[in-house]
Amino acid sequence: MSEVCGVEQAENVEVKAPELEPEQLQGLLAYLGSSFERAFEAVEPGAHEFRSAIANGNDMNDDDKAINAFKLGYINGLAHSLHLLAFNGAIEKVLNKPENVIRFLSAMSRLFKLYNEYSAGQKRGWLNIYDGLAGVSNELEDFVRDIAVQLKVQE
Amino acid sequence: MSEQEQTQKSGLEAFKGILDYMSDSFARAYIFAEVVPANFAYDVAQSSEITEKEKAGLLQSFGEIGALMDMLKAGYDNGLGMTFLENPDNVKEFMTIISRLLALYRDFRNGIMIRPIELSLAVSDIVSDLQSFFIRFMKSINASE
């Protein structure tokens, strides 16, 4: 009986993640930013998890869930294409430039911010989410285009 | 060649002019298929014969196809990789890949329902071929321009 009460009490306790300042995570960011491969591995599950959260949510109808799932697939497609390029000699060099890895992380960080806000119930509704996702995909599209420009200049 | 294949071939001959015209330029090849990934995704999402899990995978793949097509078009619009994108062999290869997507979409809309697992595999193959095409495009920018 006491064990059951203990479980109930534990379930009622709100577990709050400790607040972290970005400065406290500089070491982690520097590590992730040191190679495109590391950065990609860190962010890869984001789009899948976000899509799953939207699919299980009750703030959108099925049509709107589909539209956002497509957009998340689009974002994942851009990230995956870049990742495939990361194994190709000259392109790998460009992608691994610290400023490029950081830019990629920054774009994907917008996705995680949106995901966190969605999970916390701070941002809901298909248009809010779609707008946020469009911002991420636009940033990634610009990034891919700039990588192509850098490749041309590097030649 | 079977009778059916011969009939199909002679039927296609009638459209040779328009097919040659479309496959003469990457931009033309892109434009006629531009909206297909999103439309296909939307129609799959409405289907009651595909499980939610299968839909999730398919929507992901359609998103990837849309992204890859748009990135190739962005390269074209920005004058990047033009040697690659204007090479007739490459345009035809792109058309062939996209044509497989269109054939699947046509069958799906006409109710010729292949099993979801087969649809997923066919769409994944298209993603994979478009990724290879995209990688060659990006490599060409660095190699020859």
Q: Is residue A126 part of a domain?
A: yes
Residues in chain B within 8 Å Cβ distance of A151: 138, 141-142
Longest dimension (CA), chain A: 73
The distance of A12 to chain B (nearest Cα, Å) reads: 32
**Mean of pLDDT values over B138-142:** 86
Q: Is residue A4 part of a domain?
A: no
How many domains does the structure of chain A reveal? 1
Amino acid found at A28? L
- pLDDT tens across B35-64, in order? 999 999 999 988 888 888 888 889 989 999
- pLDDT tens across B88-102, in order? 999 999 999 999 999
CB-CB contact of B76 with B134 (8 Å): no
Q: Is residue A36 part of a domain?
A: yes
Residues in chain B within 8 Å Cβ distance of A149: 78, 80
Q: Does A60 lie at the interface with B, CB-CB under 8 angstroms?
A: no
Residues in chain B within 8 Å Cβ distance of A66: 41-42, 44-46, 55, 59
Q: Is residue A2 part of a domain?
A: no
- pLDDT tens across B112-125, in order? 867 888 999 999 99
Confidence of residue B32 (pLDDT cuts 50, 70, 90): confident
Q: Does B38 lie at the interface with A, CB-CB under 8 angstroms?
A: yes
B22 pLDDT above the threshold of 70: yes
Of B56, B70, B141, the CB nearest to A69: B56
Q: Is residue A5 part of a domain?
A: no
Q: In 3D, which of B110, B112, B114, B132 has the Cα closest to residue B64?
A: B132
Question: Mutate which of B85, B141, B145 to test chain A, going by most A C-beta atoms within 10 A?
Answer: B141
Domain span at residue A65 reads 28-154
Q: Which residues contact B56 (CB under 8 A, 6 or more apart)?
A: A51, A52, A55, A69
**Range scoring the smallest mean pLDDT among A6-10, A104-108, A116-120, B94-98:** A6-10
Locate the chain A residue with the closest alpha carbon to B67.
A74
Kindly determine whether residue B56 and residue A149, on different chains, have CB atoms separated by under 8 Å: no
Kindly determine whether residue A55 and residue B56, on different chains, have CB atoms separated by under 8 Å: yes
DSSP string, A66-115: HHHHHHHHHHHHHHHHHHHHTTSHHHHHHHTSHHHHHHHHHHHHHHHHHH
Q: Does A101 lie at the interface with B, CB-CB under 8 angstroms?
A: no
